[in-house]
Amino acid sequence: MSESERKNFLGSGNDPFICENCGADIAPLSGSFRNHCPECLWSLHVDIVPGDRKNPCRGLMEPIRVEGAEGSGWYVVHRCVECGEESRNHCALTAEVQPDSWEVLIEISRSSPPPKG
């Protein structure tokens, strides 16, 4: 990936937005881009490559389970309510502005079935 492509990649998709699930006003994340609401952790199916906002689906994506561990970082797995596609997203629990809700993350991990095997 060239320097200009990289800039483009990181620069797109990091705008303030309003969550379509809970209506929260979301500020952009510095140093990275948000792909889910920090308040309810729902996402929107807008990316093909993370951050590109080129997916025409635009369905709401429900947080269905939590993966990861203390130390290695936490991921929330989203499933699109429109097309069923799943994607795994790193949580921004330590963001300076509007970090992801730890309480909601715990709720999701409690309600999701334990991993098989």
Question: How near is the Cβ of 27 to Zn ion at its closest, in Å?
Answer: 13
From residue 90, give the alpha-carbon distance in Å to each of 4, 66, 117. 24, 10, 23
> What three-state secondary structure class fits 37?
coil
65 versus 80: smaller Cβ distance to Zn ion = 80
Question: How near is the Cβ of 80 to Zn ion at its closest, in Å?
Answer: 3
Question: How near is the Cβ of 10 to Zn ion at its closest, in Å?
Answer: 23
Binding to Zn ion (CB under 5 A): which residues in 71-100? Answer: 80, 82-83
- Structure-token pair, residue 114: 């334990």
Q: Rounded CA gap, 116 and 39, in Å?
A: 29
Q: Is 59 in the site for Zn ion (CB under 5 A)?
A: yes
Q: Rounded CA gap, 6 and 11, in Å?
A: 8
Q: Is 44 in the site for Zn ion (CB under 5 A)?
A: no
Q: Rounded CA gap, 57 and 7, in Å?
A: 25
Question: Quick one: DSSP state of residue 82?
Answer: T
51 versus 59: smaller Cβ distance to Zn ion = 59
Candidates 28-36, 46-54, 59-67, 97-105; binding stretch for Zn ion (CB under 5 A): 59-67
Residue selected from 9, 17, 32, 39 as contacting Zn ion according to rule CB under 5 A? 39
